[in-house]
């Protein structure tokens, strides 16, 4: 944990990914983040994956470095206490319906400069989650070898991640405005809009509007050269060349420079351009596949690394954790931390490196509800005012 955000306070009333990720991002940079859940645990309290002891690794992962408070939010006393905590912090992020006791105008009665970021499913207030947003974006028809009758969702909740990180940025931007002007405000952020924002920024919406429509291309890197190849011992690797330097590195490593020159003449394409390499990707892959299939993975890895080719091995998550030094304590991102009810396991801090050591506190998840008494004891004077 760094102290970049020391002194910043945030209350988080949330569940699942986007809002907890926003709180986590700020907490791991030194903000004091208090997550409030319903007494007995929120809807994600036992969400899979679970530790062998039955603890939610999902919950622990998204709630490191936070203080965990549980209140009876179904009744006025619990709601009143939550409002007092929000009043003290001056900042709130939530993906719960912001009505009733969570209505912004009601909350700001006791804190006129309150900053509140409300995450919604869609811009018009309908419910949605990452997996339903994925379906609407059209990307499942472009993923892998998807067919018109068999769309494939990606398993990474990418839109939740985009939304959570954008929410953290929005909170910091609003806090800066408050410091300069004294103004708080309600910030509304739609999960669906986060997906549409990214698709638009990547040119994909304009491409669909202007045509032609993109088709699924498996593991090929669209509009450039990149694909996967099998080695002699049954492993697979991904290689890519997004610049001429990278293309030259790949052809030199594989000894295919002359073959690629011949291919360019035979197909009348310019392989010094992304467009040319994309157009000729199938014959290029045939030439390269011969080189990869004649060598074991270890030899391929050594050669590609020596020539500074952009490449990566296909491996399972188990292999990543067991065998890859980038996912180990050799990487300063990680430490092995004893988490409550789950034992010690490899736990990341925040990837941002501010030039100061990451403390164990940035990786530690508190037991659910463990901070309730301590947090409330410090804020009793506020309860009488709220």
Task: Judge residue 379's burial from the number of C-beta atoms within 10 Å of its C-beta, 0-12 exposed, 13-18 middle, 19 or more buried.
Answer: middle
Q: What is d(CA 8, CA 34) in angstroms, rounded to the nearest whole number?
A: 11
Catalytic residue among 160, 228, 258, 373: 160
Structure tokens at 83: 């409002």
Task: Judge residue 103's burial from the number of C-beta atoms within 10 Å of its C-beta, 0-12 exposed, 13-18 middle, 19 or more buried.
Answer: middle
* Opening angle at CA 269, ends 268 and 274, nearest 5: 175
Q: φ and ψ at 186, to 5 degrees? A: -100, 125
Name the CA radius of gyration of the chain, rounded: 25
> Annotated catalytic, 160?
yes
Going by C-alpha positions, the residue among 200, 221, 218 that lies closest to residue 137 is 200
Q: Which residues lie below 8 Å from residue 378, measured CB to CB, with a gap of 6+?
A: none
Check: CB of residue 72 under 8 Å from CB of residue 39.
yes
Helix (H, G, I), strand (E, B), or coil: what is residue 77? helix
Going by C-alpha positions, the residue among 77, 197, 80 that lies closest to residue 137 is 197
- Looking at 172-329, which runs of residues are DSSP E strands? 185-190, 225-230, 236-241, 310-313
**DSSP assignment letter at 84:** H
Helix (H, G, I), strand (E, B), or coil: what is residue 361? helix
Which residues are tagged catalytic? 160
């Amino acid at each position: 944990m760094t102290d970049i955000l020391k002194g910043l306070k945030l209350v988080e009333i949330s569940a699942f990914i986007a809002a907890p990720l926003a709180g986590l991002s700020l907490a791991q940079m030194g903000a004091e983040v208090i997550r409030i859940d319903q007494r007995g645990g929120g809807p994600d309290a036992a969400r899979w994956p679970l530790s062998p002891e039955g603890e939610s690794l999902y919950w622990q992962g998204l709630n490191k470095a936070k203080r965990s408070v549980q209140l009876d939010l179904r009744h006025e006393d619990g709601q009143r206490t939550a409002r007092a905590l929000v009043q003290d912090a001056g900042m709130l992020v939530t993906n719960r319906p912001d009505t009733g006791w969570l209505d912004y105008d009601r909350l700001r009665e006791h804190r006129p400069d309150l900053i509140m970021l409300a995450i919604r499913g869609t811009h018009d207030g309908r419910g949605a989650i990452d997996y339903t947003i994925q379906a609407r974006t059209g990307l499942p028809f472009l993923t892998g070898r998807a067919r018109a009758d068999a769309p494939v969702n990606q398993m990474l909740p990418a839109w939740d991640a985009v939304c959570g990180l954008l929410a953290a940025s929005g909170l910091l931007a609003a806090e800066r405005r408050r410091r300069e002007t004294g103004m708080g405000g309600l910030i509304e952020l739609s999960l669906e809009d986060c997906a549409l924002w990214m698709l638009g920024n990547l040119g994909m919406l304009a491409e669909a509007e202007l045509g032609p429509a993109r088709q699924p291309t498996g593991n090929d890197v669209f509009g450039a050269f990149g694909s996967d190849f099998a080695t002699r011992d049954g492993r697979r690797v991904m290689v890519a060349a997004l610049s001429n330097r990278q293309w030259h590195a790949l052809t030199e490593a594989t000894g295919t420079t002359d073959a690629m020159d011949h291919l360019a003449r035979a197909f009348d394409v310019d392989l010094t351009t992304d467009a040319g390499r994309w157009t000729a990707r199938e014959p290029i892959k045939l030439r390269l596949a011969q080189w990869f299939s004649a060598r074991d993975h270890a030899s391929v890895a050594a050669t590609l690394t020596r020539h500074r080719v952009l490449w990566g091995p296909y491996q399972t998550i188990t292999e990543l954790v067991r065998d890859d030094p980038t996912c180990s304590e050799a990487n300063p991102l990680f430490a092995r931390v004893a988490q409550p009810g789950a034992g010690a396991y490899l736990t990341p801090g925040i990837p941002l490196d501010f030039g100061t050591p990451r403390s164990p506190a940035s990786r530690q998840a508190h037991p659910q509800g463990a901070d309730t008494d301590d947090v409330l004891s410090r804020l009793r004077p506020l309860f009488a005012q709220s």
